[in-house]
């Protein structure tokens, strides 16, 4: 019969294994989302980068693993993994660009990933995924990025919001590279 101490050691071991499995699985699908999204979106791969999910960031830098919530953690925990994805869209009118960012939260629940893209409904993807199975995630990212503009344009076109959107002229030397 195992002692209470041995039970505690086993529980810690089980937790550690689950935390590592969660990290590896979420890291894998996170990378698959970032590498698969450009082809689905129809843009060059360098237009999509990983960035921190919140706070200030440099949109011209691909943060790689530093964009994921586990990167700054000194201890691996059994918790959702969060990262940001950024899409650089060149301006039609000039040589500038607009950088769009959204946060993605990944959770392993049983035999599926629960993927939350900002304010979009959860997307459920099998742990045994491929790029075709990620299409609903790509749709959610696209919908979230489009929603920003739809909301702003709706407010702009509503006479009650006469000052809801604005533009400024950027310096001539500004580029998106």
Which distant-in-sequence residues (6+ apart) come within 8 Å of 126 by Cβ?
Answer: 111, 112, 113, 133
> Distance of alpha carbon 78 from its chain centroid, rounded?
19
How far apart are the C-alpha atoms of 176 and 97, rounded to whole Å? Answer: 5
* pLDDT by position in tens, the chain (length 177): 889 999 999 999 999 999 999 999 999 999 999 999 999 999 999 999 999 999 999 988 889 899 999 998 888 899 999 999 999 988 877 777 888 999 999 999 999 999 999 999 999 999 999 888 999 999 999 999 998 877 777 776 766 655 555 555 555 655 555
Please give the pLDDT value at position 93: 76
Domain membership of residue 173 (yes or no) is no
CA-to-CA distance for 80 and 69, rounded, in angstroms? 9
Structural domain harbouring 149: 4-157
Q: To the nearest whole number, what is the mean pLDDT of the chain? A: 87
Calculate Rg over the CA atoms of the chain.
20
3-state SS, residue 64: helix
| DSSP for 40-60, written as a single string | HHTS-GGGEEEE-SSS---TT
DSSP string, 74-90: SS--SS-EEEEEEEEEE
* 98 domain residue, yes or no: yes
Q: List all residues 6 or more positions away from 8 whose beta carbon is below 8 Å from its beta carbon.
A: none
167, part of any domain: no
What span, in angstroms and rounded, lies between the C-alpha atoms of 101 and 53?
A: 8
Whether residue 49 is contained in a domain is answered as: yes
| Residue 177 belongs to a domain | no
pTM higher than the cut 0.75: yes
Q: What is the dihedral of CA 113, 115, 121, 123, to 10 degrees?
A: -50
Residue 24 in any domain: the answer is yes
Query: Is position 164 within any domain?
Result: no
């Amino acid at each position: 019969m195992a002692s209470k101490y041995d039970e505690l050691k086993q529980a810690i071991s089980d937790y550690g294994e689950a935390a590592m499995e969660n990290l590896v699985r979420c890291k894998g699908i996170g990378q698959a989302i970032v590498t698969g999204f450009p082809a689905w979106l129809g843009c060059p791969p360098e237009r999509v980068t990983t960035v921190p999910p919140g706070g200030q960031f440099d949109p011209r830098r691909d943060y790689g693993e530093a964009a994921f919530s586990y990167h700054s953690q000194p201890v691996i925990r059994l918790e959702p993994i969060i990262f940001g994805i950024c899409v650089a869209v060149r301006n039609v009118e000039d040589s500038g660009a607009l950088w769009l960012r959204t946060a993605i939260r990944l959770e392993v629940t049983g035999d599926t990933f629960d993927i939350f893209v900002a304010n979009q409904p959860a997307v459920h993807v099998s742990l045994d995924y491929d790029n075709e199975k990620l299409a609903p995630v790509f749709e959610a990212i696209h919908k979230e990025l489009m929603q920003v503009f739809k909301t702003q344009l709706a407010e702009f076109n509503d006479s009650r919001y006469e000052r809801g959107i604005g533009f400024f002229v950027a310096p001539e030397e500004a580029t998106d590279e």
